Chains A and B, each alone.
Chain A
Amino acid sequence: MDRRTTLKWVMAAAAAVPGLNGRAWGAVAPEANAASDARAAGLAADRAAGYGTDPDLSRVYHPGELWPLTLSAAERRTATVLCDLILPADERSPSASSVGVVDFLDEWVSAPYPQQQADRPILLAGLKWLDDESARRFATTFAALDEAGQRAICDDICHEQTAAAAFAEAAHFFARYRDLTAGGFYTTPEGRRDIGYVGNVPQATFEGPPLELLRMVGLAE
């Protein structure tokens, strides 16, 4: 992080004392401790900390360059495990964490924009909930659990519509986390290959669907 970014960061954090700037943070989970409350509030940065309305479109950006990443080591451990439960390595593609999805999630929850600021407390509270739930059921952290234990917890929260009322918030977190994990994964070369996106290459002509494809959907004999 360069000095300019640091300064912007410090000023943005100072300007974002809850109650002074009028921003509402929504529901931060009640069990969240004071430190993470403060960290959440500190991220209510103003737009000056973003990339602005005329960013350089030609360069490659990496998480952490435009604004500091903010997940703690423990949160990243939990995030990594959850990413790979959602998108594990298989015969077609690597796992989500191995192609930078955790860095992307960290970039996302650390970003100074409204959508990301709205997602931040959901994700932070959810990661904490996973550890709390693991401690309650198995007396250990989520990351330290074996996969069967991890899946036992995920199975309770992986479907918002059918999750028990007690798991409603956690299920909401899981849905959002899975959305973002998939978003991070399928926007990598490995993810595009896996899902079967084969475009973004210049072509002299565009021929449209081959006969075989038309047959498959009943548009040709």
Chain B
Amino acid sequence: MPFITASTLAPDYDVIVVGSGAGGGQTAYTLCMEGARVLMLEAGRTYRPEIETPMFQTPEEAPLRGAGTPDKAWDFYDATVDGGWELAGEPYVQGSPGAGGDFRWWRARMMGGRTNHWGRVSLRAGPYDFKPYSRDGLGFDWPIGYEDVAPYYDKVERLIGVYGTSEGLENTPDSPPGCLLPPPAALVSDLLIRQRAQRVGVPVIPGHRAVLTRPLDWKNSPGILHPGNLAAQRIIAADMQRRAACLWATPCGRGCSIRANYQSTTVHLPPALITGRLDILTDAMVSQVVMGSSGRASGVRFFDKRAGTEHQARGRVVVLAASACETVRILLNSTSASFPNGLANSSGKVGRYLMDSVGSSLGGQVPLLEGLPPQNEDGASGDAVYAPWWMYREQHAGRLDFARGYHIEISGGRRMPGVDTMKGTEWLTGGSYGRRFKADARRFYGSFVHFYGRGEMIPNEHSYCDIDPRVKDRMGIPVLRFHWRWSDHETRQAAHMQKTFADIIDALGGRTQNPAPADGAKAISTGGSIIHEVGGAIMGADSRTSVTNSWGQTWDVKNLFITDGAVFASNADKNPTLTIMALAWRSADHILAALRRREL
């Protein structure tokens, strides 16, 4: 009976996992496959991608031709349900509003959380990324290095399925043979960009995304993922065969009913449920970690959102994987006589060093791509190629005015037309209408390219969240207040992105509607809006300056762990999800070993 209600909770679990996304999903998967009894609590509803995913629906079947609204922020068919930048009854507060001080918080109250929607870009952080302070004296080193995490990147790539290549580039790790799936064919726009970007010194290589370009290696991977555990091997071998390869249509952001891309709900949770050791309780909003005797956590307190009742669940170990900020919120709201400033907060660092990725983008129109014969360019729905950061040497030599790198995500091609197709094209059409406008639409459609920079933000003292002293959500749980400030490193990096994008568009013989902004403060994204927020409970080597040790185990409470992005001590330009999963697997291994030794 894997899906339970508050009234059918078991009296006790080995591990309680709060959250069902990338961190919670991976944690529960590893724990259940290796024998632990797990309760997973999810604040949103249950979600079944195999029957709920709108795989081939077209915009004219949707309200407003699928245009995004506050109810469905990306577009109508996006996988996110009960999510958004604002959630009814669950506010958050801006502590430093205006002038670059805003923070936007994307939440998805649904099983699998934000993994149902995400972009699936799956990049390994490299050796430099775990030791940034040692390299340039800014931010913090992690208490672990790339070599500690690499075996878990290997495992996660084999389990979830990631396409990409190993190119031997600096701080852009290769994967061992057998880990990566072949990348999809690039579009003609990708190939043109690769050729022209090279001329301005930007290398373009195959992207890395969690999409099955071919079936998983169900014969060899199970033994590598679960050595000596035949039961687990059988389960995952069978489940890998139930995941189909990509059928080269319908956007990944809708989710995938044939399980061809990674969502926690299609990859982590099904095999974990098959073990019979996972109970999932949905619509359960955790408010606090409950402390028992001798400084140990005894479980969590939660609201049954449907019934409006409050309950407790008990476990030997509590794992928070509610997303970086929600995990911080639970800790800060778990006050007691022993922890007046929030749980696991003797360092005062809970909520501190919140980071997002630096984001900046520029689009251009490329005459060479005009009026090409129709091609099906759906592909794997984006990011067939990308440009990893290429200026490590210049940066290290002090020749750039910002300290950390960025990569470039690239899009183009003949995407399914949406409500914005041909929007704002007067600068190209000269204001045509009538037969000439129809001809212009045929000419310009598919000739647009976009470049999205994703850069590293250095943790700073002004970017953090705490508990608002007044505002509570509709369940009466105090809410987060966000404080945000980009430093010059980030705004200068955003300016550099714009210059680079403009150079590439120029090399393509393309044009932009307006000149690329030279002022980075104008070009940079709002904090949180890239949805790569990490930090808030960073790991470290010293309990006075960090919240957890290298296992995500809180310094103050031995049986309390964090396996989401909150533990990140830095936020490399590499999108965080793959690293969240690798760290979660590593933490789960540590928890299992400690449980077996009866240390927890």
**Which residues of A come within 8 Å of B, CB atoms?**
47, 50-55, 57-58, 60-61, 66, 85-88, 90, 92-93, 100, 104, 107-108, 111, 113-116, 151, 154, 158-162, 175, 178-180, 182-184, 186-189, 191-192, 194-210, 213-214, 216-219
Contact between chains at B430 and A159 (CB < 8 Å): yes
Taking a contact as CB atoms closer than 8 A, the residue among A66, A93, A200 that contacts B249 in the complex is A200
Contact between chains at A160 and B426 (CB < 8 Å): yes
Interface bits B376-395 vs A (CB < 8 Å: 1, else 0): 11111000000000000000
Contact between chains at A209 and B376 (CB < 8 Å): no
Contact between chains at B438 and A199 (CB < 8 Å): no
Contact between chains at A179 and B69 (CB < 8 Å): no
Question: B118 to nearest A CB, angstroms?
Answer: 18
Give every chain A residue within 8 A of B63 (Cβ-Cβ): 51, 55, 61, 66, 107, 111
Taking a contact as CB atoms closer than 8 A, the residue among B65, B76, B431 that contacts A184 in the complex is B65
A113–B76 Cα distance when bound, in Å, is 13
Q: Which residue of A lies closest to B108 (CB)?
A: A53
Contact between chains at A194 and B414 (CB < 8 Å): no
The CB with the most chain A CB atoms within 10 A, among B58, B427, B431, is that of B431
Cβ of B442 within 8 Å of any chain A Cβ, yes or no, is: yes
Give every chain A residue within 8 A of B372 (Cβ-Cβ): 213, 216-217
Docked complex: B395-447 residues within 8 A CB-CB of A: 414-424, 426-427, 430-435, 437-438, 441-442, 445-446
Contact between chains at A218 and B368 (CB < 8 Å): yes
Can you identify 8 A-B contacts, CB atoms within 8 angstroms?
Answer: A159-B430, A179-B423, A182-B423, A186-B417, A194-B442, A203-B247, A206-B379, A216-B372
Give every chain A residue within 8 A of B379 (Cβ-Cβ): 206
A92–B439 Cα distance when bound, in Å, is 10
Contact between chains at B62 and A61 (CB < 8 Å): yes
Give every chain A residue within 8 A of B558 (Cβ-Cβ): none
Give every chain A residue within 8 A of B69 (Cβ-Cβ): 50-51, 111, 113, 115-116
Give every chain B residue within 8 A of A54 (Cβ-Cβ): 45, 81-82
Cβ of B83 within 8 Å of any chain A Cβ, yes or no, is: yes
Contact between chains at A52 and B419 (CB < 8 Å): no
Question: A57 to nearest B CB, angstroms?
Answer: 4
Q: Which residue of A lies closest to B78 (CB)?
A: A57
Contact between chains at A55 and B374 (CB < 8 Å): no
Interface on chain B toward A: helix, strand, loop, or mixed SS?
A: loop
Contact between chains at B70 and A192 (CB < 8 Å): no
A75–B33 Cα distance when bound, in Å, is 63
Once A182-B422, A183-B423 are accepted as A-B contacts, the answer to whether A203 and B248 lie under 8 Å apart by CB is: yes
Determine, out of B16-24, B181-189, B338-346, B486-494, the stretch whose residues face the partner at the interface: B181-189
Once A200-B378, A208-B185 are accepted as A-B contacts, the answer to whether A159 and B71 lie under 8 Å apart by CB is: no
The 3 closest A-B pairs by CB, nearest first: A159-B431, A208-B185, A183-B419
Once A86-B433, A186-B422, A219-B188 are accepted as A-B contacts, the answer to whether A200 and B416 lie under 8 Å apart by CB is: yes
Give every chain A residue within 8 A of B246 (Cβ-Cβ): 206
Contact between chains at A182 and B421 (CB < 8 Å): yes
Contact between chains at A201 and B376 (CB < 8 Å): yes
Determine, out of B49-57, B222-230, B298-306, B571-579, the stretch whose residues face the partner at the interface: B49-57
Taking a contact as CB atoms closer than 8 A, the residue among A178, A191, A214, A218 that contacts B437 in the complex is A178
Contact between chains at A192 and B184 (CB < 8 Å): no
Taking a contact as CB atoms closer than 8 A, the residue among B81, B87, B195, B376 that contacts A199 in the complex is B376
Cβ of B66 within 8 Å of any chain A Cβ, yes or no, is: yes
Once A57-B54, A199-B414 are accepted as A-B contacts, the answer to whether A183 and B426 lie under 8 Å apart by CB is: no
A184–B63 Cα distance when bound, in Å, is 11
A104–B61 Cα distance when bound, in Å, is 11
Once A160-B431, A184-B419, A195-B445 are accepted as A-B contacts, the answer to whether A51 and B438 lie under 8 Å apart by CB is: no
**Extra pairs beyond A85-B433, A183-B419, A217-B372 (9, CB < 8 Å):** A54-B81, A86-B434, A88-B435, A115-B69, A159-B426, A187-B58, A214-B188, A217-B192, A219-B188
Cβ of B476 within 8 Å of any chain A Cβ, yes or no, is: no
Contact between chains at A113 and B249 (CB < 8 Å): no
Q: Which residue of B lies closest to A52 (CB)?
A: B71
Contact between chains at B434 and A88 (CB < 8 Å): yes
